[in-house]
Amino acid sequence: MHLWRHAFERYLRETLGESLQLVWTNNRRLMISFNQKKRPPVLRLHESFATAEQGLKDDLVRFLRHGKRIPDSVREFVNRIPLISREDGGTLRTQGKNYDLRKIYGKLNKVYFGNRLEGKITWGRRAFAGQKRSITFGSYFSIRRLIRIHPVLDTELVPSFYLESVVHHEMVHEYLDAVEGYGRKRGEVHSPHFKELERRFQYFELAAAWEKRHLAKLLRYSPQLKK
């Protein structure tokens, strides 16, 4: 069990009761379910919460303890959770229209991580609907050792070096989690060590500059994508 997940589970039991039964899920329809009437109480929680920053975990616990309106921070976090569910059947979609994520992962694994990573990667099943001010281009799910890439990046608008920069970013998360056992502390989701590793990507500066120039175009393009 990863250290940061173990610490979060301990924190939940310290604040909600030592008898708490915690069930990690990947249910995209019901991401938080807390049955306090059961003995022991049962908390079903989407696995993404295990990777959240400490401040959001504190907000979540306050909500679970007092049962009032869901905090905006928790609501926004839930809205950003990528749509991965058991309905996906565990199928990985690595070959896109323009890019093959398996080949990109293999190339980056060899060049930057000494082929030490053994995770999985997939394109997301569909884009987010509606106008957005931001897009989560990539996500790493530690429990499943899975990287998910937003399908908007599988378009003619996106150069290969930018897509590789997004995949590399998520692979740094995987590396720190799987190889170094890196625990996430308050404010350390993207720690100085993380940023040091991220900047080793050959085209880091070029990718950052490209995103700054083209993000607005990607935001407009994203709602047009279909499942």
3-state secondary structure of 58: helix
CA distance 117 to 106: 9
- Minimal CA–CA distance to 121: which of 98, 97, 150? 150
Please list the alpha-helical segments (H only) found in the chain.
3-16, 54-66, 72-80, 101-113, 160-178, 192-198, 204-221
- Please give the angle made by the CA atoms of 180, 170 and 166, to the nearest 5 degrees: 145
Q: Is the Cβ–Cβ distance between 138 and 166 less than 8 Å?
A: yes
pLDDT in tens, the chain (227 residues): 355 567 788 888 888 888 888 888 876 667 788 888 888 888 988 878 877 788 888 888 888 888 767 787 887 777 666 554 443 445 789 999 999 999 999 999 999 999 999 899 999 865 444 444 456 788 887 667 889 999 989 988 899 999 999 999 999 988 987 776 654 443 456 788 889 999 999 999 999 999 999 888 877 765 444 43
Token readout for 120 is 């999985």
Token readout for 142 is 């530690």
List beta partners, residue 33. Answer: 44
Domains of the chain: 3-80 (no CATH), 92-224 (3.30.2010.10)
pTM, two decimals, is: 0.62
